[in-house]
Amino acid sequence: MKGQVVVVGGTKGLGKVITERFLSQGQAVTVLSRTRPEGELAYAHVPCNLETLPDPAATAAAAVAANGPVRYLVFCQRYRGSGDPWDGEMQVTVNATRQLLQAFAPHFVHEGDRAVAVVSSVYAQFVGGSQPDGYHVAKAGLNALVKYKAWELGRQGIRVNAILPLSYLKPESQHHFLGNQQLVDLYQDFVPLGRVGYAADSANLVEFLCSDKASFINGQEIFVDGGVSVVWPEELARRMAGVDK
Ligand SMILES: NC(=O)c1ccc[n+]([C@@H]2O[C@H](COP(=O)([O-])OP(=O)(O)OC[C@H]3O[C@@H](n4cnc5c(N)ncnc54)[C@H](OP(=O)(O)O)[C@@H]3O)[C@@H](O)[C@H]2O)c1
């Protein structure tokens, strides 16, 4: 039994890059999102709105009906609603992930490698003004959920890990960023690896975690940030202010 890959929020941004990655491996993929992209799709699409998610079991059953039991489950949704951002973040990021994890748990294959990869953010551990409080709290809660599920689902042989990316460039919008030399220079200066991150950098980690090469990695929060999180902020402040020494 091969087992399919389910990508929640796999139609845009990082999720789309991840979906394309698994398709290029020849995997059967089912994508969950609100809107089915136009045209012919190389994957099955199950429409669902995580802001309400009335029947998680039926959503999981629809994905299984499309492509069979699950080997890898990836969460890559981002709250993009117009309602209260606190409530929206809690529902779409935390509640919906928990509900879908419960709904999909009985539908995993019973042998071979099995895993869940959850895309979180550096804002689960750090704070800053570019995201609202709800985003921070939801991502921190999501990471706690990942650890709990790593313990709980680990007994079923299912590994659960979190990916914490720094802001990354998506194929849809990277031209705008790359056309702004000031931004390119800024990232070159403060990221130890000397460049901005791409969605593909995070997709690399998801691909690794959703493979038997990560067979004993469970319950981890892994940064994809070019090394930014290990730098003491005072160093950065001095460097930006031109008082390096
Ligand atoms: N962008 C960054 O620089 C960055 C940095 C660090 C971490 N992250 C994290 O990476 C993940 C992906 O972010 P992104 O910016 O790449 O995403 P994105 O481009 O905004 O795409 C979001 C995906 O989620 C789906 N979605 C949104 N609301 C939904 C809902 N209510 N119900 C079901 N599906 C829904 C969207 O499809 P529909 O519109 O069809 O529903 C889409 O497939 C998120 O967890 C985000 O917090 C992003």
| Domains assigned to the chain | 4-170+196-231 (3.40.50.720)
Reduced to 3 states (helix: H, G, I; strand: E, B; else coil), residue 4 is strand
143 lines ligand 1 (CB under 6 A): no
135 is catalytic: yes
59 lines ligand 1 (CB under 6 A): no
Atom of ligand 1 nearest to the CA of 139: 47
160 DSSP β-pair partners:
116
12 CA from centroid of ligand 1 (Å): 7
Residue from 7, 14, 201, 221 to probe ligand 1 pocket by mutation (most atoms less than 8 Å from CB): 14
Check 72, 79, 123, 135 and give the catalytic one.
135
Per-residue pLDDT of the chain (245 residues; tens, 9 = 90+): 589 999 999 999 999 999 999 999 999 999 999 999 999 999 999 999 999 999 999 999 999 999 999 999 999 999 999 989 999 999 999 999 999 999 999 999 999 999 999 999 999 999 999 999 999 999 999 999 999 999 999 999 999 999 999 999 999 989 999 999 999 999 999 999 999 999 999 999 999 999 999 999 999 999 999 999 999 999 988 988 888 76
168 DSSP β-pair partners:
197
Q: What's the CA gap between 207 and 197, in Å, rounded?
A: 16
